[in-house]
Amino acid sequence: MFNPFKPERAIIKDIIKETTDTTTYTFSFLDEGVRREFRFRPGQFNMLTIFGIGEAPISISSNPAEPETFQHTVRHVGNVTKFLSKMQPGDIVGIRGPYGTGWPLDVLPIKNLLIIAGGIGLAPLRPVIHEVIDRRPEFGQVEVLYGARTPAELLYPAEYEAWRQAGISLLLTVDAVPSGTAWEGQVGVVTDLFRQMSSRPGETAVFTCGPEIMMSYVVKGLLARGFKPEQIYVSLERRMNCGVKKCGKCQIGPKFVCRDGPVFAYAELLTLPEEVLGGAVR
């Protein structure tokens, strides 16, 4: 019988240091069959094992068109991720997945796309950007609003030029600029970028990921600008020990975030008795 709890062995192929506490790892499954069969959709996650340390849910941050080598962008803040920071290319980890529903790129008839990310929240949205670039003619206006704490903490800066060349409008902001750092751009929280954005509610889907407090203000600001709860999608973080609706940890009301999410329409969250996104908007 298939064992959904058994990780497959994967090798670290490459390590890219993104910021002081965040790293992008490129992985590939050791087993050829597993490697060939692995497919994922933007917004899905894997359970990442370091044997002897534990297992953690981490979103996939690379292009779904290249599933044989996939990436996880990891912030080193937990037991598993801190240990991962000590590992080298060639080291072996365990990976199982992908899990979750992902962003509804193929479910919705989306014309325009507004992506709003904060900090590490850009990681699960990067596969969306890569897929949109690959399928650019299918989409109309695509706009990305991205905020980080400081200029040095913006993820994937080397790719911004390519995104812009693909016709994606990219607006950046930082919370603060440390002295000695060159920064010509906007200073402020990500919702400050609403004044500059050209996205409008008509025929637009919004995908947002970041700290819940950020997402609560994003949703509040969007609703005030005429966006509807049905067109706003958020990706939630919860504790997960299994990824397959068994351990129970990730439940919010009747939803299992690991399987029914982690991406939810905001309208769906409004039906839950428990407050989500700090209950900022109800």
What is the spatial distance between Cα 125 and Cα 207, in angstroms, rounded to a whole number? 8
Backbone φ, ψ for residue 249 (5° rounding): -60, -35
Q: Which residues within the stretch 252-281 sit at the binding site for another protein (CB under 8 A)?
A: 253-254, 256, 259, 273-274
For another protein, give the closer residue by CB, 195 or 282.
282
For another protein, give the closer residue by CB, 54 or 89.
54
Using CB under 8 A as the binding rule, whether residue 5 contacts another protein is answered as: yes
What is the spatial distance between Cα 69 and Cα 92, in angstroms, rounded to a whole number? 14
For another protein, give the closer residue by CB, 75 or 130.
75
**In the chain, beta strands by DSSP E:** 8-17, 22-29, 45-50, 54-59, 70-75, 92-99, 112-118, 142-148, 168-174, 186-187, 204-209, 232-235, 251-252, 255-256, 263-265
Residue 182: CB minimum distance to another protein, A: 29
Using CB under 8 A as the binding rule, whether residue 225 contacts another protein is answered as: no
For another protein, give the closer residue by CB, 5 or 66.
5
Q: Which of 242, 263, 277, 281 is in the footprint of another protein by CB under 8 A?
A: 242
What is the spatial distance between Cα 243 and Cα 96, in angstroms, rounded to a whole number? 9
For another protein, give the closer residue by CB, 140 or 253.
253
Using CB under 8 A as the binding rule, whether residue 12 contacts another protein is answered as: no
Q: Which residues within the stretch 58-97 sit at the binding site for another protein (CB under 8 A)?
A: 75, 77-78, 81, 92, 94
What is the spatial distance between Cα 216 and Cα 48, in angstroms, rounded to a whole number? 28
Residue in the structure block whose two tokens are 């029914």: 260
Q: What is the DSSP letter of 11?
A: E
Q: Give contact residues for another protein (rule: CB under 8 A).
A: 1-7, 9, 51-56, 75, 77-78, 81, 92, 94, 237-239, 241-242, 244-249, 251, 253-254, 256, 259, 273-274
